[in-house]
Amino acid sequence: MTSFVSELRRRNVLRVAAANALVAWILIEAGSVLLPTFGAPESFFKVYVIVIVIGFIASLIFAWVFELTPEGVKLDRDVDQTKAEPQSRSRMNALIIGLLVLALGVSITLNITGLRSDDTETVANAIRDSIAVLPFENRSADAENQFFADGIHDDILTRLAGVESLRVISRISVDRYRNSSRDIRQIGLDLDVRTIVEGAVQRIGDQVRITVRLVDAQTDEQLWAETYDKAMTLQNVFQIQSEISAHIATALRAALSPAEELRLASIPTDSIEAYEKVVNGRNNLAIRSFSSLLAARQQFERAIELDPDYAQAHAGLAQAVLILVTNHQALPHAEAYAVADEALEKALDIDPELAHAYAVRGLMKMMQWEQKRVGDGNLEAAADYERAIALSPSLADAYVWFASLRESESNFDASIELLTRALAVDPLSRIPYVNLPSFYAALGRNDETIRLLLRASQVFEDWSTPYGYMSTHMQKLGRLDESIAWGLREMELSEDPMAGGSLIGIYQEFGNDEAVTAYVEAFPEDHPLYPLGKSYWHYISRDYDAALEAILELDDIAAIPKNPFMGLVVGATVMAGEYDLAFGYLTKANPSLAADTEFVVDRKNLYAAVLLAFVEQKRGRMGEAKRLLDQAEITVESVPRLGMHGHGIKDVHILTMQGRPGMAIERLSEAVDAGFLSSQAFDVWPFDVDPILEPLRSDPRFAQIVQRMQDRIEIMRRNVEEAEASGDWSLLLARAETT
């Protein structure tokens, strides 16, 4: 034994072992931090360690078999030990000491300074505590039982969303994986989650079998599984849902508060038919189309008839009517608010802890505040959103609507941050994909807006909204031919009769009266906005007296949506010379501008403030007009000129009314250089009849600017004619990709 140890020393195997052990330690310590930083999975780190260990063993074998000599590396048996020079042990000792110091330095850096310490564990736990509940498979012979599988899935997801320590992916994103062939690992990567729930439901007569399993998305390892066989009663089903949710939370080491335990165990209804209506209503709400929202409203109303104490049905009804207004202008605001307010009051009376109801109430208060922009409605809405998020931290709609409120308050940093949080819990949700580019447009980042809208149209190819947003954005960038291409695509995909409505202004610029007539005549007579049709037709025909007469025949002008149709009302009254009437409409629609001394012009009322200043000048109230213009002049500098949220030529209007025509002409020229071509997208009248610009028309430079605009409009008109003739709009659509 002594001779063997002596031989190890002679061959420097022990020193090589010490040196390589230190090198291996340094590599493992560094890898434990650097590999996760670059997104390497845990399995890769295991392979990394095995390779280092193999290398360590190989180095020992190498040191035993070979010897380093002045002539190079030789097999030990080929070296004449009587003539061999003793190896420098002091050099090897120095190397070992140096490696030891380095290893200690690396260890101290990673473990004491906090570069690793608890952070890695915290990140790992955060990833582990992220979960996606995939749609449950319906294994029943009757396909109509799909609603039952959907309901169980949706309720489990909703219950888990109320657990503060879990990040739960919302249903809109997981619905993309219904009947999907993608494997668990890929879904985990798509949704950025560590764990996934899969389940199936089989209903046979009065019995139901529910199977569910919790899987590690990185390894496909089953963490927990259970099968439930029960008599088919709603109480049994809700009990199973509660047990599943609690088991999942326990498996993920999520500590449940007493309030969370109560919410997990809740039984929302005793009516299986009401439950079915609510499940189908939620499905239709998620689709967001005009017809699906109408169906959702009817389904929630029927659920309430079947069970008046079903809180989720009342909250769903409120959301359906509010979305019908915001997305499709399909209800008078007053009717929608009355229905929603009553439904929400009932929902929260039944269940004061219903997060969804608080979020929808926040939406309603926000909508009401945005109409008038006076009072504390925005603060009340914010409080409701915060309450909803506290009760259900993974409620994506609350973040999305809260972001819209912050945007309305011009707090764009907060709005973008809230949308980012929304995408964390609902990475494939549609609304953030169009709201986020809208927020960037408000900041004047128009190229970024186009890039994000392109991304939205690629992710959701059959969804009309990104195409509509892009059409509006292009129109307000002065890219009229591209706007037509995107707008026509929107009309192909949408059931909403208002889709593509902004194209009428472009067709007017092109002199295409046939396209305008076709759109107006195709508008359905049963639509709430149909009574405005006669007035609108007279208006675009420039018969302003007839347009005003038709408006005055309407039973309830207050029911007209503020955007965009109040512009029609004000435009008709101004062009007809009825300035007192115009003043009444403007101040009623914009109460923040009606106060005698306290009005403030901001981004949201800039358009109305400039119009009101013009009306006040015509009414001989020069002092009031000056105050409006002075504030508007400051505000307009913070608003982009072009794009979805651009002001167009509001600065030109302000300067003209302030009696500064020279500077107004210069700004108009700058606007055209930047891409402005048409007032139709920004104002209530065409550029050539804009009454505010009348003092500028005698300036020779004005005619030259108009000619520049007309030349470019003519080029775009020809581009559209060529696309129409060939039926190929791809070239115009593709231009956005080169922006």
**Are residues 393 and 306 part of one domain?**
yes
Nearest to 98 by CA among 26, 11, 32, 165: 26
- As a whole number of angstroms, the distance between CA 452 and CA 737 comes to 11
- As a whole number of angstroms, the distance between CA 68 and CA 368 comes to 85
- Average pLDDT of the chain to the nearest whole number: 83
- As a whole number of angstroms, the distance between CA 274 and CA 306 comes to 6
pLDDT at 651: 97
Residue finishing a domain among 267, 301, 318: 267
**Are residues 479 and 346 part of one domain?**
yes
pLDDT at 548 over 70: yes
Residue finishing a domain among 119, 153, 170: 119
Listed in sequence order, the residues at least 6 apart from 567 whose beta carbon sits closer than 8 Å to its beta carbon are 683, 684
Listed in sequence order, the residues at least 6 apart from 672 whose beta carbon sits closer than 8 Å to its beta carbon are 705, 708, 709
3-state secondary structure 228-264: EEEECCHHHHHHHHHHHHHHHHHHCCCCCCHHHHHHH
- As a whole number of angstroms, the distance between CA 294 and CA 516 comes to 28
Mean pLDDT, range 656-673, rounded to an integer: 97
**Are residues 253 and 324 part of one domain?**
no
List beta partners, residue 226: 212
Strand spans (E) along 451-588:
none
pLDDT confidence tier of residue 705, bands split at 50, 70 and 90: very high
- As a whole number of angstroms, the distance between CA 159 and CA 196 comes to 15
pLDDT at 80: 53
Q: Which of 145-159, 377-391, 506-520 has the highest mean pLDDT?
A: 377-391
Mean pLDDT, range 490-515, rounded to an integer: 87
pLDDT confidence tier of residue 229, bands split at 50, 70 and 90: confident
pLDDT at 30: 62
Listed in sequence order, the residues at least 6 apart from 241 whose beta carbon sits closer than 8 Å to its beta carbon are 152, 155, 156, 159
List beta partners, residue 52: none
**Are residues 642 and 579 part of one domain?**
yes
- As a whole number of angstroms, the distance between CA 142 and CA 386 comes to 42
pLDDT at 20: 60
User: For 454-465, what is each residue's pLDDT tens digit?
Assistant: 999 998 888 899
Count the Cβ atoms, other than its own, within 10 Å of residue 10.
14
Q: Please answer whether residues 207 and 230 qualify as being in contact, where contact means their C-beta atoms are separated by less than 8 angstroms.
A: yes
Lowest mean pLDDT among 12-21, 216-225, 658-667: 12-21
Mean pLDDT, range 123-147, rounded to an integer: 72
Give ∠ CA 610-616-622 in degrees, rounded to 5. Answer: 105
The answer to the question of residue 519 being in a domain is: no
pLDDT at 117: 41
Q: Which of 552-566, 581-595, 684-698 has the highest mean pLDDT?
A: 684-698
Q: Quick one: residue 192, left, alpha or beta (phi over 0 = left, psi -120 to 50 = alpha)?
A: left
First to last CA, the chain: 78
Nearest to 517 by CA among 481, 541, 549: 541
List beta partners, residue 230: 208
**Are residues 86 and 23 part of one domain?**
yes
Give the DSSP H or E segment for 69: strand 66-69
Q: Which two tokens stand for residue 400?
A: 């999305």
Q: How many domains does the chain have?
A: 4
Q: Please answer whether residues 195 and 215 qualify as being in contact, where contact means their C-beta atoms are separated by less than 8 angstroms.
A: yes
Give the DSSP H or E segment for 35: helix 13-37
Count the Cβ atoms, other than its own, within 10 Å of residue 137.
17
The answer to the question of residue 278 being in a domain is: no
User: For 96-111, what is each residue's pLDDT tens digit?
Assistant: 555 455 554 555 454 4
The reply to whether omega before 70 is within 30° of 0 (cis) is no
User: For 552-572, what is each residue's pLDDT tens digit?
Assistant: 877 665 555 555 556 788 888
Q: Please answer whether residues 579 and 615 qualify as being in contact, where contact means their C-beta atoms are separated by less than 8 angstroms.
A: yes
- As a whole number of angstroms, the distance between CA 278 and CA 269 comes to 10
pTM of the model: 0.69
Q: Quick one: residue 522, left, alpha or beta (phi over 0 = left, psi -120 to 50 = alpha)?
A: alpha
Give the DSSP H or E segment for 200: strand 195-204
**Are residues 53 and 180 part of one domain?**
no
The answer to the question of residue 615 being in a domain is: yes
Convert 183-203 to b/e letters by CB count within 10 Å (16 or more is b): ebbebbebbebbbbbbbbbbb
User: For 36-51, what is each residue's pLDDT tens digit?
Assistant: 544 455 555 566 667 6
In the block, residue with structure tokens 């408000």: 442
pLDDT at 583: 92
The answer to the question of residue 45 being in a domain is: yes
Residue that wins the pLDDT comparison between 5 and 137: 137
> Residue 697 belongs to a domain with what CATH number?
1.25.40
Q: Which two tokens stand for residue 432?
A: 């953030």
**Are residues 383 and 430 part of one domain?**
yes
pLDDT at 146 over 50: yes
Q: Which two tokens stand for residue 357?
A: 């109801």
- As a whole number of angstroms, the distance between CA 490 and CA 519 comes to 14
pLDDT confidence tier of residue 71, bands split at 50, 70 and 90: low
Helix (H, G, I), strand (E, B) or coil at 162: coil
**Are residues 636 and 580 part of one domain?**
yes
- As a whole number of angstroms, the distance between CA 316 and CA 327 comes to 16
The answer to the question of residue 281 being in a domain is: no
The answer to the question of residue 527 being in a domain is: no
pLDDT confidence tier of residue 519, bands split at 50, 70 and 90: confident
The answer to the question of residue 187 being in a domain is: yes
Lowest mean pLDDT among 367-376, 388-397, 685-694, 726-735: 367-376
- As a whole number of angstroms, the distance between CA 297 and CA 318 comes to 8
What percentage of the chain exceeds 90 in pLDDT?
A: 41
**Are residues 231 and 157 part of one domain?**
yes
Listed in sequence order, the residues at least 6 apart from 284 whose beta carbon sits closer than 8 Å to its beta carbon are 292, 293, 295, 296, 299
pLDDT at 477: 97
Mean pLDDT, range 145-149, rounded to an integer: 79
Residue finishing a domain among 484, 509, 536: 484
- Beta strands at 195-204 and 222-231: parallel, antiparallel or unpaired: unpaired
> Residue 170 belongs to a domain with what CATH number?
3.40.50.10070
User: For 126-137, what is each residue's pLDDT tens digit?
Assistant: 344 788 999 988
- As a whole number of angstroms, the distance between CA 660 and CA 657 comes to 7
Provide the sign of the torsion angle of the four alpha carbons 689, 691, 695, 701, taken in this order. Answer: negative
**Are residues 381 and 344 part of one domain?**
yes
User: For 344-391, what is each residue's pLDDT tens digit?
Assistant: 999 999 999 999 999 999 999 999 998 877 789 999 999 999 999 999
The answer to the question of residue 349 being in a domain is: yes
In the block, residue with structure tokens 């079998």: 209
> 95: domain range?
2-119
pLDDT at 489 over 90: yes
- As a whole number of angstroms, the distance between CA 295 and CA 299 comes to 6
**Are residues 114 and 44 part of one domain?**
yes
> Residue 443 belongs to a domain with what CATH number?
1.25.40.10
Nearest to 48 by CA among 67, 35, 62, 61: 35
pLDDT confidence tier of residue 139, bands split at 50, 70 and 90: confident
**Are residues 441 and 301 part of one domain?**
yes
